[in-house]
Amino acid sequence: MGKRIVLAALAGGVLVFIVSGILHSSTHLGEVGIRSIPNEDLVLLTMRNSIPEPGFYYFPAPNLSPMSKEQKEAEQSKYLAKFKQGPTGILVYNREARI
């Protein structure tokens, strides 16, 4: 019985992989929602001048330094105000292209 379950899971995984590959390439689902940044040259110049290290960044970022419970609550309300004001996002950043 256990062998049948493992074989069925493998067959199902292979089938899903093949079908999703066909759908991905034939319907261009991989391009949905992808857009270029307006004023890209200006944005890239600002990023080069402002972000020295490669990394995974999110914004707005909360203050993660050690603090008391009261300070955390105050920082949380500041963070929520910044978050509601926007913009928000995630950035995977590398200053130099690596091929």
Say yes or no: 21 and 45 in one domain. no
Say yes or no: 57 and 28 in one domain. no
Residue 34: its pLDDT value, please? Answer: 84
Structure tokens at 42: 């200006």
Say yes or no: 10 and 58 in one domain. no
Name the domain count of the chain: 2
Structure tokens at 66: 């050690």
Residue 12: its pLDDT value, please? Answer: 96
Domain that residue 56 falls in? 38-99
Say yes or no: 85 and 60 in one domain. yes
d(CA 44, CA 7): 49
DSSP state of 32: T
Q: Which CA distances in Å does 4 have to 1, 7, 9, 12, 78? A: 5, 5, 8, 12, 55
57 contacts 91 by C-beta, under 8 angstroms: yes
**pTM, entire model:** 0.57
Structure tokens at 14: 């292979």
17-74 pLDDT, tens per residue?
999 888 888 887 777 788 889 999 999 999 999 999 999 999 999 888 898 988 998 8
Say yes or no: 20 and 46 in one domain. no
Say yes or no: 12 and 45 in one domain. no
pLDDT higher than 80, residue 98: no
Sorting pLDDT into bands at 50, 70 and 90, what band is 90?
A: very high
Residue 31: its pLDDT value, please? Answer: 76
Say yes or no: 55 and 16 in one domain. no
Say yes or no: 44 and 85 in one domain. yes
Q: Higher confidence at residue 33 or residue 83?
A: 83
